[in-house]
A and B are shown apart, each in its own frame.
Chain A
């Protein structure tokens, strides 16, 4: 187990290092003078431009040698200093992102966990049950082949605009002030539901299909046949099969994280949901490199953290990794 986590840790540190370096490169690799490009896009008063130009040249440290710029970036990073946004001048990037992160967590954690749980349960249940396998699982294929934003667009159009049941933009109504009242919580949930539903449904389809295919393999393996031959009840055989089939699914979750995060990004854009995805779009459109840097940093941290949690879960679920035997391919 020590070896397992040791190797993982090396990979994580290395990845973090590399990802942050790429992150550092974003504004510096842009053609032309990044400060000039950035400021020419942000329409502000002439005197403000001068102040900002001075600030950003100093902040980027463009007059320093490259290695020093790089070290300074790491130094600032560990002090939680991600610079100041151009798009929302003069707010610091870290504050803007911190306002957005709760919405992401609120959207991603329930949709990932619920779709993983429900999809796997349903897939295991549907496998080798003829009518379910041939009819309902077709829906799973369609869902997993659906681009996130298209499902979002469809839900927004049908339930939001045509039926008028759900609002289709923002995290809560602009007329409401954030408070701890029931009305406000209800409003937040109403705005949350459609983006959540599109993320949940696409994920659900994928997990259900994956589990269905896995469990069929397991049901055809020797231990299942042996159990059946011993006269074990169907339910028991399925339980054993499920415990084996869930392992590749957990690995699959780790592999899918990047795509799920990307999906959340476009879903937030469709619904104007004020998470990091929405910020990234605004940052791209306004050439706000500091904000972009900050957003990517948080995505990197998010993906690494989620990977780590999955690793821990894997150790709990798969006893072989704990005993230092094979397994642990995750």
Chain B
């Protein structure tokens, strides 16, 4: 249990355990991506401490450019852009975690079942996947929006989770399909293991790295979708988000007035977060499949 440093077997065990960490820390893509994500994560928690206002406080002069007092300037109505930015950042990360997490979860459940059980289950799940893929989800959101006059980040995240899973389901399905006929799965099957247990104890552990990457992509995708929804005005109504900031900026003529400090930060943050997620994803891919590593 306690590997001693002098112990030969212990050393190899230690190496094996830290192999992932070893390659992860050598991989620049993972390092850079992770650093940027961490930066924004810290900013989300620390950022609000540097402002005395809430996002909808009208505090300063109208349309003031960035200065030492208003770090990111103010909007046409005199709201502090920095305050809106840090609050919006929190919204974006929440949507990513909840929406992306839910999307991954549904995709994984559908993908595992379709891929492992095959046959009729596969056919039916396949049809459902295709339908969700093709239906314009805006239409459904519109009906929801009419009913829920007050919508929060939660509503939006859940909606995104329930509509963004199809590609994850497909990806997991094809992976499961290829694992299904492996010897160790066959062995589990003849030994009388239940399908659900096979999925969770035999197949899932072999796909952990893949699932992590699916989650990362869903995370980034959810943030982008949320930005789009917010921009059309179907996003949250009781809070600010990065997409809403851009929406207001365009609606209230920030472009024509040259108020770049209003619309640059929210977009830049989205690009930085989602971009570093994608880059991290490729880095992880290189770590998990040694073939791809550039020597």
Number of interface residues of B (CB under 8 A): 53
Question: Across the interface, which residues of B come within 8 angstroms of A216, CB to CB?
Answer: 292
Nearest-neighbour CB distance to chain B for A216, whole angstroms, equals 6
Question: Across the interface, which residues of B come within 8 angstroms of A307, CB to CB?
Answer: 134
**A145 in complex: contacting residue of B146, B166, B174, B278, CB < 8 Å:** B278
Q: How many A-B residue pairs have CB under 8 A?
A: 151
Please name the residue on chain A nearest to B32 by beta carbon: A138
* A147, B224: Cβ atoms closer than 8 Å: yes
Nearest-neighbour CB distance to chain B for A14, whole angstroms, equals 7
Given A147-B270, A157-B255, A220-B291, the answer on whether A141 and B263 have CB atoms closer than 8 Å is no
Give the complex CA separation of A30 and B139 in angstroms: 12
Whether, in the assembled complex, B235 has its beta carbon less than 8 Å from a beta carbon of chain A, the answer is: no
**A300 in complex: contacting residue of B136, B224, B243, CB < 8 Å:** B136
**B271 in complex: contacting residue of A23, A142, A209, A254, CB < 8 Å:** A142
Interface stretch among A49-57, A74-82, A148-156, A173-181? Answer: A148-156
**B139 in complex: contacting residue of A217, A220, A296, CB < 8 Å:** A296
Give the complex CA separation of A254 and B130 in angstroms: 10
Number of interface residues of A (CB under 8 A): 61
**A147 in complex: contacting residue of B137, B138, B227, B233, CB < 8 Å:** B227
* A156, B255: Cβ atoms closer than 8 Å: yes
Whether, in the assembled complex, A19 has its beta carbon less than 8 Å from a beta carbon of chain B, the answer is: yes
- Interface positions, chain A 59-112, Cβ under 8 Å from B, are none
Whether, in the assembled complex, B202 has its beta carbon less than 8 Å from a beta carbon of chain A, the answer is: no
Whether, in the assembled complex, B250 has its beta carbon less than 8 Å from a beta carbon of chain A, the answer is: yes
Given A14-B127, A149-B228, A216-B292, the answer on whether A29 and B250 have CB atoms closer than 8 Å is no
* B267, A154: Cβ atoms closer than 8 Å: yes
Question: Across the interface, which residues of A come within 8 angstroms of B137, CB to CB?
Answer: 258
**A296 in complex: contacting residue of B127, B130, B136, B285, CB < 8 Å:** B136
* A15, B136: Cβ atoms closer than 8 Å: no
* A26, B143: Cβ atoms closer than 8 Å: yes
Please name the residue on chain A nearest to B267 by beta carbon: A150
Nearest-neighbour CB distance to chain B for A247, whole angstroms, equals 12
Give the complex CA separation of A299 and B264 in angstroms: 31
Question: Across the interface, which residues of A come within 8 angstroms of B135, CB to CB?
Answer: 15, 18-19, 22, 300
Given A15-B131, A270-B250, the answer on whether A150 and B271 have CB atoms closer than 8 Å is yes
- Interface positions, chain B 228-266, Cβ under 8 Å from A, are 228, 231-234, 243, 246, 249-250, 255-256, 258, 260, 263-264, 266
Given A147-B224, A149-B246, the answer on whether A142 and B275 have CB atoms closer than 8 Å is yes
Whether, in the assembled complex, A48 has its beta carbon less than 8 Å from a beta carbon of chain B, the answer is: no
Please name the residue on chain B nearest to A23 by beta carbon: B139
Please name the residue on chain B nearest to A298 by beta carbon: B136
* B142, A284: Cβ atoms closer than 8 Å: yes
Question: Across the interface, which residues of B come within 8 angstroms of A22, CB to CB?
Answer: 135, 139-140
Given A161-B256, A292-B142, the answer on whether A150 and B136 have CB atoms closer than 8 Å is no
* A263, B256: Cβ atoms closer than 8 Å: no
Cross-chain pairs A/B with CB under 8 angstroms, 21 sampled: A11-B131, A18-B135, A19-B139, A29-B146, A30-B146, A31-B146, A130-B294, A142-B271, A145-B273, A145-B274, A149-B227, A149-B228, A153-B249, A153-B250, A153-B255, A262-B225, A265-B138, A269-B232, A303-B134, A303-B136, A329-B174
- Seed contacts A147-B224, A154-B267; 12 additional CB < 8 Å A-B pairs: A19-B135, A22-B135, A31-B147, A145-B224, A145-B270, A149-B227, A150-B246, A153-B263, A216-B292, A259-B224, A284-B142, A300-B135
